[in-house]
Amino acid sequence: MEDENKLSIYRAARTIKRRENTLYNALRSIHDDSVFVGEISQLWPELPLLANLRCGLWYSPKFHSTCYFKSTDGHTNNWSFNTSRLNLHVAHLAGQKGGCIIVDSTRKGKRFPDSMSKTIPIWTCVFNRAIVNHRSRMQDHDKLTEGVNSDNHESETSDQHVENTKQASHEWDASLHLPLWVSKTERASIEERLEGWTKELEASGADIASLASCLQKPLRPLWISQKTVIWLNEVPDHDSWDFTPIILVSASSSTGVIQHRTTSEFSWNYIPGAGDDEESWARGLSPDLFWNNVYDIINSGPDMCNQKVANMVEKDRVYRAQRGQNAPQVTLKPPKSLNSTSDPSYVEPVLSLDNLDIKNDIQFCDDDSTVFWLGTTNIAVGTALAAANTTCVDCVMNCGRDSFSACYLNNEAYLHLPIVNSKLDRFSLRNNLASAVNFAKLNLRKGKTLLVFCQNGEDISVCVCLAILTALFDDGGTFDDGKSFSETHITKWEMRRRLVFLCKFAIKARPSRGNLKQVYSFLSGGRPSSHTPSAPSTM
């Protein structure tokens, strides 16, 4: 009887939580928090605004770019500097613009997510240390140059250059800057690992030299939340600091108590970090679709919000389908303990097209059509929409499940590999990589250009390009028809170096761990299943 009572209390608590975490509560909370983000961005309008994927993408209608710093890399006793997520473009952008603003949020009642408390501070420190090491090596090189310089005037010039370089390295702050709430014990543990992480960065093949020339001042994080006190008449100009600011904005209020808020029309419960874990609440709504129709959604109120969003999502799906874009059907399940259709949080699982009037009464969203060329390799990576809009390539490799019509290509210039996510099939990518590499080899030998695409251009297509680069190119990015691959035993570290090279150009790359494992299995000759194709031939 006691166990039944505990179970009933648990079910009741879950039901209350589900009712509090409604779609309207989440979107209204995001909208309120976005006002704060907008206010902060206007304090330094020259600095680019970046969203830390994926939660941060909800908190502003417009971002200059995105980044990918994971909170798990900053979890206590799990600190990490991951060379698969170098975010080099963020450092370059900060160097070009004099800093940047990164937006993220958290649900856990903290003021800042661990991505901001530790992951990004570790990232800035490791990059600063690598730059100091690079400048020191340049200083040693200058000394050697000075020794062979016989002309007095040139010798004096060299002396001054060496002195300037030494002074600049001495003033370059490479210390670890953490927020005050990180304990001294945790700080000490992180500092012990900094040297090893710096060596990993230097060995990864990342272009530290270009970063050192781009950054005039060391990177340093600053933290701003809704509890931060800012005197508007004393806001410093970002150029006045002796460092390049990485301003970390935690969008949500850090209160752990659910706040009940009201306006003249509606009332709702505020949810901190509402943008997190969008699969559990967004019902197919994307940040772009939300911001394109924000006032219609917010003004629909709690009772009509679900149906309003459902109609928008379905109309947007049809709009995409009519243009040949990826348009999966969104299926919604009713809440387990709220099976009554009278409950405002319930909508029909599948919407009928017959009941929808597909008009331009909403602002639709198009997929990203950016194509990223991987240096001088003649290989590009992009989305399905990018492939549909690009006619300047010689051949195309489709790594998505849906077919693709390219009337400007003949059959020999097109390959469809219906690869699915590693969560659905652990060997789907692995089993198609031999065909992908052989198709690429056949065309790259002839000097042709190749576009590799998948639905989002971030994961599967990136991993296919990684396999091609490793199997057919040397470590400098030059096509050698597989010669270096046949002479080298591929290690995980060597594969990671190639990934760093790829991510230098494809800044939106976010390969999943499961897919990277399949690429390594293929390149190292592993055989996860009896029907798996062999590693690529280098003949």
Q: Compare 384 and 213 and report the one with higher pLDDT.
A: 213
Q: Compare 352 and 135 and report the one with higher pLDDT.
A: 135
Q: What percent of the chain has pLDDT over 70?
A: 78
Instruction: State pLDDT tens for residues 404-414.
Output: 766 657 778 99
Q: Tell me the pLDDT band of 498, cut-offs 50, 70 and 90.
A: very high
Phi, psi of 377 (to 5 degrees): -80, -10
- For residue 230, the tally of other CB atoms under 10 A from its CB is 10
Closest C-alpha to 325, from 286, 299, 278? 286
For range 177-183, the mean pLDDT: 94
Q: What is the pLDDT of residue 482?
A: 92
Q: What is the pLDDT of residue 455?
A: 86
State yes or no: pLDDT of 340 exceeds 60.
Answer: no
Radius of gyration of the chain (CA): 26
Q: Which residues pair with 323 in a beta bridge?
A: none
Instruction: State pLDDT tens for residues 503-522.
Output: 999 988 999 999 999 999 99
Instruction: State pLDDT tens for residues 422-454.
Output: 888 889 999 999 999 999 999 999 999 999 999
Cα 165 from Cα 19, distance rounded (Å)? 61
Instruction: State pLDDT tens for residues 111-151.
Output: 899 999 999 999 999 999 999 999 998 887 666 666 655 45
- For residue 503, the tally of other CB atoms under 10 A from its CB is 26
For range 398-409, the mean pLDDT: 76
Q: Which residues pair with 267 in a beta bridge?
A: 262
State yes or no: pLDDT of 350 exceeds 50.
Answer: no
State yes or no: pLDDT of 343 exceeds 80.
Answer: no
- Spell out the residues 6+ positions from residue 154 whose beta carbon is closer than 8 angstroms to its own: none
For range 231-257, the mean pLDDT: 88
Q: What is the pLDDT of residue 264?
A: 67
Task: Please give the CATH architecture assigned to the domain spanning 371-525.
Answer: Alpha-Beta Complex (3.90)
DSSP letter string, 138-162: HHHHHHHHHHT---HHHHHHHHHHH
- For residue 438, the tally of other CB atoms under 10 A from its CB is 16
Evaluate the CA torsion angle 306, 308, 309, 313 in order and state its sign. positive
Q: Give the pairing type, strands 379-383 and 450-454.
A: parallel
- Spell out the residues 6+ positions from residue 494 whose beta carbon is closer than 8 angstroms to its own: 470, 475, 488
Q: What is the pLDDT of residue 102?
A: 98
Q: Compare 50 and 171 and report the one with higher pLDDT.
A: 50
Q: Which of 103-112, 185-194, 254-263 has the highest mean pLDDT?
A: 185-194
For range 280-298, the mean pLDDT: 94
State yes or no: pLDDT of 529 exceeds 70.
Answer: no
Q: What is the pLDDT of residue 156?
A: 47
Task: Name the residue ranges covered by the structural domains of the chain.
Answer: 20-141+173-250, 283-327, 371-525
The Cβ-side half-sphere exposure at 399, using a 13 Å CA radius, reads 33
Instruction: State pLDDT tens for residues 46-84.
Output: 999 999 998 999 999 999 999 999 999 999 899 999 998
- Spell out the residues 6+ positions from residue 47 whose beta carbon is closer than 8 angstroms to its own: 41, 97, 98, 99, 100, 101, 238, 245, 247
Token pair in block for residue 52 = 């830390």
Q: What is the pLDDT of residue 374?
A: 94
